[in-house]
Structure 1
Amino acid sequence: MARNNITRRDMLRYGGMAGAASLIGKKAYGGGTCIGESMVPSIEMDAFTNCAVIEAFPPSPFILQPFTQDMPIPTALRPGWRYPDGTLSQPGDSNAWFVRKSVEFGDNSIVPPGPGKGQQDALGDRPGNHQVDKPRWAIPSAGTHQLWSSGQGVTGQDLGYPDPLLYHIRIQVRQSSFTNSPVVNINSAGNAVPLPPGASASPAGFTTFKGVQTPSYLLPPSTIYGFNGTFPGPMLNIEYGRPALVRFENDLDLNEGCFDRQDFGAPDWAFLTHLHNGHTAPESDGQPHHMTDHGGGYEPREWVDNLYLAYPAGGDDREKQSFLWFHDHRMHHTGPNVYKGMVGLAPHYDPVLDSGDETNGLRLPGVRTNNGDGTFDVKYDIPFAFYDCRLDDGVSPHTDEHTPLQGSALQSQYFPSNQFCGSIHPEWWGQLFHKHYPNHGFVGDIFTVNGVASPVLHVFQRKYRFRYLDCSVSRQYVLELMQGTPFPFPGQQGQWNFGVKGSNGTVSRAPGTCVMLQTQIASEGGLLPTPIKQDGIEIWPAKRREVIVDFTKYRDGSPTRPGDVLYLTDTSAMIDGRQQSKDNQFAVPLVKIVIDGPPPEPDNSLMPVPGRTTLRAPTPFDPKAPKVRDFTLQRGTPSGGGGSTETEWLINGAQFDPLNPLATPVIGSAEAWGINNGGGGWTHPMHLHMEEHHVIFRSTNLQKHADDTGKEDVVALEPSEQTIIYRRFRTFLGNYVAHCHNLAHEDHNMMFGWSIVKNV
């Protein structure tokens, strides 16, 4: 593909921002960083401050009017290069694929995506990670695609696929609101309290709260780092056999609105995007075992072209996946960046069995519309991104490892004068509150779905496909379709719970009634061998589950009626981020589902297809394969010393070292690995990059994980549990990682590197 420096005429359109071109008018890049803003150099951003960690979280303002705001339903991102305001370039636009930085081709150049040398990212072609004395460990060059669909990559392998659809996603500083409901400021006991001095909020009138006339307010929006500036970010609908290339570009230095960044998110404003769990070459995998140079991330003005080949592992159709997502993977700052908004969706479709068209293949619910540019949308196929958060009360101290000491060199040089260990921030009242280093994990008291707290979803009387994603930092959910009456419980997790009113007028919590079964058809590894009917669907951080729900009838066989209401409800209490708590009265409604009546077109979906007993035949594996390696997850610091200030968790007694893999399987091989929970009352969602695995042994409750029949990319480790998994290593050479996806654990070194090496 052609590459050329941008012309003088084009430069006139970009205006006069030194070192970072800007566009004129509504497409302006803007003036860059705001007065007083400063990113922390990556070499200093993990400096330890001795800030005492306080295990306390603020109570979020209480939402008065839940279930009044529609749940956003994402549509497919359209391909093409984008201006900073989101406008897609048109054919013939001379600015298309303009980049602000390119080591290989010069700054302020036009650099279209392609398989050329040094064309994969802003840093250009450079040596991969290898050891001279171990030639089989040699990793293909970084900055160049290892495999391109038409055979032009480093390996020369030709998949016979067309060139990829080209997408462009900018990481941007924007703002997002979780609710448009009025709120009341409360304390931890759930009682109304005045706004703290210095807080700024728009009045929303008075309301009767606990029998007293109380002022209410509108929440201010929170600053996010968003893919294309939204939370959740865009959705990539990917079809097997049609590769997708996404240019992720870092615009986090362009804070045109001068939004307050608060005190979390990677301080160097860098990113590293991972398609979870794509069968992807390491240079496109977005993880710190491959990206070991340049501070381990892409800084402002930099970009990377992640190539998602839509190629099943080993070319085996049985390895096709179904629901992926993408998120930031910046070392030591994944949790803050994800919590700050860096989440996107990536459903995958199989053109033979599961194309999104309910008239063919497995006949799963979905009415597909092709958009004419290679993309498509699917009605009745809805993703749900579950995310819990806390909002600042303006009086809770901000204490964290990454909060600098007042007057320290780090604080005085890089942070505003009011940001230091133990500082309070009334000016952030009602905005996102984050704690990067909680000893017991991070759980919120406001639950959101697709970026909205307590939304409403209208459905027709027909079958739907729901795709569930847990993109929370630590929270686990059990999702049931229930009926009940939501009552306010200010100061408690979820804020609203099913309840009953006693004869004396007092309200107590009560469980709801599960009125519909869900038919699980897929886990994070793709379609299950056979469907499973369940009351509740359990998901842990990073896990996905897909279900079919028939809104024509209830579980007792009685028909639904237009106007009927039920709630998608979380019945899994979590006092903190360690594990689920036993609380039979915990029933927090997450989404109000209103049944509107018959659909506008026939429901042609079937479950099951007559004469078909399986959804996706399982890949053959050896359930008695001898264990080759063991990995034990535990809390602590390295016994020999030398631990990083970030180290709180270990694997096999060691902190994560991106330069030293703990396993080096040979390409084309298969191995059984032991993944063990070292104890301490914690659960661990252990994620392994690159290929899915089969669970072939659990030392504890097998019934709780009935969907182990399918493939997974996250092992759900119960407290003190031992497991054995069977996995393969195909297609690509290079460095990958495995880590706990409780992001408070991952960011503090519960991770190990592993490498696929040559068979020499």
Structure 2
Amino acid sequence: MKSKAWKSRSKRSKDLPDGEARRSFLKLSAAAMAAPLLLRARNSAAVEWVTTPQPIFPPSPTTRPWLEELPRQIVPIAPLDPLITPLTPSPTVDANIAGGEAGRAPHQRYAELIARFGAPQLYELSAVENPAWVTHPDLPNQTVWAYRSATPNATVPATIFARYGKPILCRIHNELPQDHVGFGSPEISTHLHNLHTPSESDGFPGDFYSPNLAGPTLTAPGEFKDHFYPNIYAGYDEQKTPLGDPNEALGTLFFHDHTLDFTAPNVYRGLVGFYLLFDDLDSGDERDPNGLRLPSHPYDYPLAFGDRRFTPLPDGQLFFDQLHAEGVLGDKVVVNGKIEPVLRVDRRKYRLRLLNSGTSRFYEFYLVTPGNVVQRFDYIANDGNLLPETLRNQTKVRLGVAERGDIVVDFSKYQIGTELYLVNRIRQLSTRGPKDVKAPGTRVLKFIVDRDPPEQDMSQVPDKLRDLPELPTDEEIDKLPVRRWEFDRKNGLWVVNQQLFDVDNPRAKIKQGDAEVWELVDDAGGWSHPIHIHFEEGIILSKTVDEIEVPVPLHERGRKDVFVLEKTMAMRVLLRFRDFKGKYVMHCHNVIHEDHAMMVRWDIVGEGEEDVDVGEDVDVDVDVDVDNDDDDDDDD
């Protein structure tokens, strides 16, 4: 079955009778396992699954380590010169449907923000298919999907350098083959995780588009879609500075596909990129006397890690089973698209931005010598947010899916010719989450210190980094509304408060400018859920395990956008909802769970629009018993 034949996916939910339960059915068989096809309707609000035990997939072919090299420095995407290569047709506030744009909502506050900060920098990306990507020389060439631009020699993943106070308008074309066969779907909805962005540019899952299809929350298909990234701090309307609150600044962001029901396979195929955001404090210039002077480009290096699995040779192709609700755990780790690559470094400090860009595998990274002696480094940022203070002499970085960790490694301590390895010591046997941590671990990246730097290292790592935003008092927090969200698995269904994702209907309506406390609770009996809340960063107020309060780790005491729930854990998170209105989502960033409906739509609304609050609606909308089926822990 070809993607272009799935006409039912673009059917608008407004065409269905009001209140009609829209259901789809997945029936797994041996044939379906061999040639995955998706039969689920795009706009389903509830799904019935025929569950089977987690399949056992053959291991990937053996590959020899350290045959591929990453570029010594990344090459970012360059903005367009509007005088030489203007966007055609010109960007418009309303969607230019006649010019080929998908039917998005108008850009919020565009005229106001451009009048204040100037015309946006223009970027142009295309989602394309590359049938000849070399993941490893011991494997055949792979067919991957990627974001590409016209910038010569731009490195993989595509990377944008952005700055607060300089808005960006990024046109993203969908050039994927519309007759695509196999896993994944050739529609896209690009989410910039976790920029403070108007909802129409957030990459809402239902806003997917292609030249042929439009998602249920768009009005028309299109070849491209313009994304407006204002690059203002959260709390802009509070005007603590002309840009908002600088203590809300973000740094290491990334963008990825977020297409409804197909996020996991589309990301697995390669639709991931970096968006590095700077301001006056974290300026991206280690010679800046007014900034922190952290290591800067070309010694500021983003690294994306993702698990993959390949079919046995001679086929040796990327494999994914998008039918099974438990998904596929890759047994190979790609680093910026390469298996076991080498990165040559100078004898000086580097800022390494580590991103877990995969689907379900967790990591706990250590830097070791060839003899597995653990090395130390400085930990400066979590989830793209600078910590209040540098964590010195750290030995590990633990990353759930979509979490980021920025570390500074001082390679000047090592002689030329020194080899070091980044190893993952988490053992994980299934997609349900980590089993344990055990040395020596699996080596995924090799560093070779091979030269002295051509210029003096002017970077530093100060003790103090970025203050937290001013928080409400305990008494004020106690008066805030509290929402409880329970993440569970019932008879193969991934649910939040016993409900599956409904793309059309918000489960909460929150007045713009309000603050709330969200309780995130793992009821899944052994599964780990990295919960991502779009739009604004949150502060963990407390964490419990088995209803007993436990300390919040130092690296989680800053601002976060991914909150990892493990087994019987719960968290209370302070959130604010400022500056923009519209539809957003919260979901498990084990994107296999997300695709199988563990997601919630919530809306930010204006004064008087929040009267109907459905945040407490926990009615079950499935026709199956909801006995917990998670006592079959296959990790043991």
The reply to whether TM is greater than 0.5 is yes
CA contact 1:120–1:143 (8 Å) conserved in 2: no
* Matches of 2:507 and 2:195, distance apart in 1: 21
Does the residue aligned with 2:560 lie in a helix, a strand or coil? coil
CA contact 1:227–1:344 (8 Å) conserved in 2: yes
2:142 maps to which of 187, 210, 222: 222
Structure-2 change in CA distance of 1:125 and 1:78 (3 Å): closer
State the match for 1:234 in structure 2: 158
State the match for 1:328 in structure 2: 257
* 1:295 pairs with 2:272: no
Instruction: Spell out, residue by residue over 1:391-443, the C-alpha distance to the aligned partner (whole angstroms, 9 max, x if none).
Output: 1126xxxxxxxxxxxxxxxxxxxxxxxxxxxxxxx7xx111000114444432
1:599 maps to which of 431, 453, 473: 453
* Matches of 1:664 and 1:719, distance apart in 2: 29
* 1:584 pairs with 2:438: yes
* 1:435 pairs with 2:352: no
Structure-2 change in CA distance of 1:125 and 1:596 (3 Å): closer
1:352-367 aligned at under 5 Å gives the runs: 352-367=281-296
Does the residue aligned with 2:553 lie in a helix, a strand or coil? helix
The alpha carbon displacement at 1:697 in A equals: 0.7
Point out the more displaced range, 36-45 or 744-753: 36-45
* Matches of 2:335 and 2:143, distance apart in 1: 18
The alpha carbon displacement at 1:349 in A equals: 0.8
For residue 50 of structure 1, what is the amino acid of its counterpart? Answer: K
State the match for 2:275 in structure 1: 346
The alpha carbon displacement at 1:41 in A equals: 2.5
1:279 maps to which of 168, 172, 196: 196
The alignment covers a number of residue pairs equal to: 548
Does the residue aligned with 2:592 lie in a helix, a strand or coil? helix
The alpha carbon displacement at 1:121 in A equals: 9.4
Instruction: Spell out, residue by residue over 1:648-686, the C-alpha distance to the aligned partner (whole angstroms, 9 max, x if none).
Output: 211011111122212111111111110111131011000
State the identity as a percent.
Answer: 32
The alpha carbon displacement at 1:623 in A equals: 6.5
For residue 228 of structure 2, what is the amino acid of its counterpart? Answer: L
Point out the more displaced range, 382-391 or 219-228: 219-228
Q: Which runs of 5+ in 1 are unaligned?
A: 1-35, 81-88, 99-110, 127-141, 152-156, 183-218, 256-260, 368-377, 395-425, 486-511, 554-559, 638-646
* 1:570 pairs with 2:494: no
* 1:78 pairs with 2:87: no
2:232 maps to which of 311, 315, 328: 311
State the match for 1:735 in structure 2: 583
CA contact 1:232–1:341 (8 Å) conserved in 2: no
* 1:383 pairs with 2:345: no
1:357-756 aligned at under 5 Å gives the runs: 357-367=286-296, 378-393=297-312, 429-484=315-370, 512-514=372-374, 516-533=375-392, 534-553=394-413, 560-608=414-462, 613-622=463-472, 624=474, 625-626=477-478, 628-636=482-490, 648-700=493-545, 702=550, 705-756=553-604
Instruction: Spell out, residue by residue over 1:250-307, the C-alpha distance to the aligned partner (whole angstroms, 9 max, x if none).
Output: 111378xxxxx551011xx211000001100011001136679933488985211011
* Matches of 1:597 and 1:588, distance apart in 2: 27
* Matches of 1:454 and 1:596, distance apart in 2: 18
Structure-2 change in CA distance of 1:171 and 1:628 (3 Å): same
The alpha carbon displacement at 1:525 in A equals: 4.6
CA contact 2:207–2:217 (8 Å) conserved in 1: no
Structure-2 change in CA distance of 1:482 and 1:233 (3 Å): closer
State the match for 1:60 in structure 2: 60
CA contact 2:162–2:277 (8 Å) conserved in 1: yes
Structure-2 change in CA distance of 1:623 and 1:636 (3 Å): farther
* Matches of 1:121 and 1:718, distance apart in 2: 48
1:175-254 aligned at under 5 Å gives the runs: 175-182=131-138, 219-228=139-148, 232-253=156-177
The alpha carbon displacement at 1:754 in A equals: 0.6
* 1:144 pairs with 2:109: no
The alpha carbon displacement at 1:319 in A equals: 0.6
* Matches of 2:294 and 2:276, distance apart in 1: 14
Does the residue aligned with 1:69 lie in a helix, a strand or coil? coil
Structure-2 change in CA distance of 1:232 and 1:379 (3 Å): closer
For residue 76 of structure 2, what is the amino acid of its counterpart? Answer: A
Structure-2 change in CA distance of 1:353 and 1:327 (3 Å): closer
* Matches of 1:622 and 1:273, distance apart in 2: 33
For residue 423 of structure 2, what is the amino acid of its counterpart? Answer: T
* Matches of 1:254 and 1:648, distance apart in 2: 30
Instruction: Spell out, residue by residue over 1:292-325, the C-alpha distance to the aligned partner (whole angstroms, 9 max, x if none).
Output: 9933488985211011111111111111100000
* 1:160 pairs with 2:19: no
Point out the more displaced range, 243-252 or 353-362: 353-362
Does the residue aligned with 1:335 lie in a helix, a strand or coil? helix
* Matches of 2:98 and 2:363, distance apart in 1: 37
Q: Which runs of 5+ in 2 are unaligned?
A: 11-22, 30-51, 236-243, 609-636
State the match for 2:92 in structure 1: 114
For residue 464 of structure 1, what is the amino acid of its counterpart? Answer: Y
Instruction: Spell out, residue by residue over 1:129-170, the C-alpha distance to the aligned partner (whole angstroms, 9 max, x if none).
Output: xxxxxxxxxxxxx4321121x42xxxxx66611111111111
State the match for 2:622 in structure 1: none
1:256-275 aligned at under 5 Å gives the runs: 261-266=180-185, 269-275=186-192
The alpha carbon displacement at 1:361 in A equals: 3.6
TM-score if structure 1 supplies the norm length?
0.68
For residue 159 of structure 2, what is the amino acid of its counterpart? Answer: M
TM-score if structure 2 supplies the norm length?
0.80
Structure-2 change in CA distance of 1:252 and 1:124 (3 Å): closer
Does the residue aligned with 1:464 lie in a helix, a strand or coil? strand
Structure-2 change in CA distance of 1:513 and 1:692 (3 Å): same
Does the residue aligned with 1:43 lie in a helix, a strand or coil? helix
Does the residue aligned with 1:63 lie in a helix, a strand or coil? coil
CA contact 1:297–1:330 (8 Å) conserved in 2: no
Structure number, greater radius of gyration: 1
For residue 665 of structure 1, what is the amino acid of its counterpart? Answer: I
* Matches of 2:399 and 2:98, distance apart in 1: 34
The alpha carbon displacement at 1:705 in A equals: 3.2
For residue 566 of structure 1, what is the amino acid of its counterpart? Answer: L
* Matches of 1:561 and 1:121, distance apart in 2: 61
Instruction: Spell out, residue by residue over 1:212-236, the C-alpha distance to the aligned partner (whole angstroms, 9 max, x if none).
Output: xxxxxxx221112211289944111
Does the residue aligned with 2:264 lie in a helix, a strand or coil? helix
State the match for 1:41 in structure 2: 6
CA contact 1:353–1:360 (8 Å) conserved in 2: no
For residue 547 of structure 1, what is the amino acid of its counterpart? Answer: I
* Matches of 1:623 and 1:478, distance apart in 2: 35
* Matches of 1:337 and 1:716, distance apart in 2: 23
* Matches of 2:131 and 2:553, distance apart in 1: 38
Does the residue aligned with 2:232 lie in a helix, a strand or coil? coil
For residue 239 of structure 1, what is the amino acid of its counterpart? Answer: R
For residue 736 of structure 1, what is the amino acid of its counterpart? Answer: Y
CA contact 1:359–1:605 (8 Å) conserved in 2: no
Instruction: Spell out, residue by residue over 1:501-529, the C-alpha distance to the aligned partner (whole angstroms, 9 max, x if none).
Output: xxxxxxxxxxx220x21211111151110
Structural RMSD (CA): 2.8
For residue 605 of structure 1, what is the amino acid of its counterpart? Answer: S
